[in-house]
Amino acid sequence: MTSLVVLVFLLVYLGMLFGGLPFLRLDRTGIALLGAIVLVASRSMSVDEAYRSLHAPTLILLFSFMVISAQLRLGGFYPWVTRRAGMLNVRPSMLLGTIIAIAAALSAVFSNDVVCLAIAPVLAEICLSRRLNPIPFLIATACAANIGSAATLIGNPQSMLIGQTLNLSFGRYLLVASLPVVLSLFATWALIVAFARRQGWIVANYSAAAASEGHDRQEASLNRWQTGKGLAVSAALFACFLFAPWPRELMALAGAGLLLTSRSLHSRKMLGLVDWQLLILFMGLFVVNHAMQQTGLPSRVVDALASHGFDLRSQGPLLATSFVLSNVVSNVPAVMLLLPTTMGEHAGTVLALSSTLAGNLLIVGSIANIIVVNEAARNGIRIDWVEHAKLGVPVSLISLAITSAYLWLLTQ
């Protein structure tokens, strides 16, 4: 059975790397689910064991915040706040700073993917209508969303997983992560401003048709009551996470349940915005990784690496491995692979920050990047991997250097 488990594990992670498997119409979610099905159907692990491998607190927390984000999307909050920023009569560099601050702040509380999905199309329309070069603004949005999401244990799926699995303190993590995140955001703003000044803020090569294309998009107008409810629940949960002793996933689930009890927003609409694909991806990877851990091979590999001077239980090797793996197989699978070797609060912080900041390196490093690039294309704006790498690589490396130095100083 060990051979089958190893084969399934390798095929699943190859699928994570390439985004699919030859001759099969499967995405990463389908591959992870198929891997779990093969392991259970072949009796490499029992149904009960597969069920126990699912980390319920993480899944509940992730689902709950998807419902809360759906409330704000249906309330029209994200487009409204982006348009308010776009109406500011400020220099392009200050507008860029405002967009970075908004994307980062929202991503620290809500999912960075949801924030990019809601902000990017509106921002593209604003830039085109103002004759601003949209590429720096759009890439800045993705970079800021990724960096900002690293500030809390609810900003992205991998941080939720780390926080729930290692039972990290929400307040202590926020205190440690805030400074490198803020410094990284300032560095991101400075880098992109320098890039935009060389390229020119104003462009005239995008057609008026492209600028008006965004008007055809169905967009929810601001509903102050629904938005207010979503923000009130979010603020209450954030305060409870900081000060209340209750389990985070149960508090979040209560907040989601409260929002579902609405007289005007149908639950079908809210649940329709839940990312079930991501939840299934998590479930499949939980099963596949648990089966692999049961073989004992991962622990032997870790011990072998440690005997050769590369101990994944140390900060430097863990940070470097997390950064590289997150750009090879994506951050969620990378975190699931590394979590069993991660012990203690400091190591959890290292893993959360490095796996998230790694997402800015290449387009494929983060779903948020892919969302922004796709939304840009829908507005006639082409951002290829070279264009993204011009900003993504320096932003990622500088933010990682800032974080590495800061974490090293904390341990001295």
Is residue 206's pLDDT more than 80?
Answer: no
Is residue 54's pLDDT more than 90?
Answer: yes
Dump pLDDT digits (tens) for 105-141: 999 998 888 899 899 999 999 998 889 999 999 999 9
Q: Which two tokens stand for residue 58?
A: 């993480």
How many H helices and E strands in the chain? 21, 0
Is residue 307's pLDDT more than 80?
Answer: yes
pLDDT at residue 207, as a whole number? 52
For the chain, which residues make up each domain, given as ranges? 2-410
CA distance 315 to 311: 9
The number of beta carbons lying within 10 Å of the beta carbon of residue 269 is 12
pLDDT at residue 217, as a whole number? 56
Top-confidence range, 29-38, 307-316, 369-378: 29-38
Q: Which residues contact 165 (CB under 8 A, 6 or more apart)?
A: 55, 58, 339
The number of beta carbons lying within 10 Å of the beta carbon of residue 359 is 31
**According to the 3-state scheme, what is the secondary structure of 227-282?**
HHHHHHHHHHHHHHHHHCCCCHHHHHHHHHHHHHCCCCCCHHHHHHCCCHHHHHHH
Dump pLDDT digits (tens) for 335-344: 999 998 888 8
Is residue 294's pLDDT more than 80?
Answer: yes
Sequence letter at residue 283: M
Dump pLDDT digits (tens) for 212-226: 454 455 566 899 999
287: confidence class by pLDDT, cuts 50, 70, 90: very high
Is residue 208's pLDDT more than 50?
Answer: no
Percent of the chain with pLDDT over 70: 96
Q: Given the structure tokens 């800032």, which residue do they identify?
A: 402
The model's pTM is 0.90
Q: Given the structure tokens 């050769």, which residue do they identify?
A: 308
Dump pLDDT digits (tens) for 130-180: 899 999 999 999 999 999 999 999 999 999 999 999 999 999 999 999 999
Least confident of 302-306, 321-325, 328-332, 392-396: 328-332
209: confidence class by pLDDT, cuts 50, 70, 90: very low
24: confidence class by pLDDT, cuts 50, 70, 90: confident
366: confidence class by pLDDT, cuts 50, 70, 90: confident
Least confident of 19-23, 100-104, 200-204, 260-264: 200-204
Q: Which residues of 225-255 are buried (b: 16+ CB within 10 A; e: fewer)?
A: ebbebbbebbeebbebbeeeeeebbebbbeb
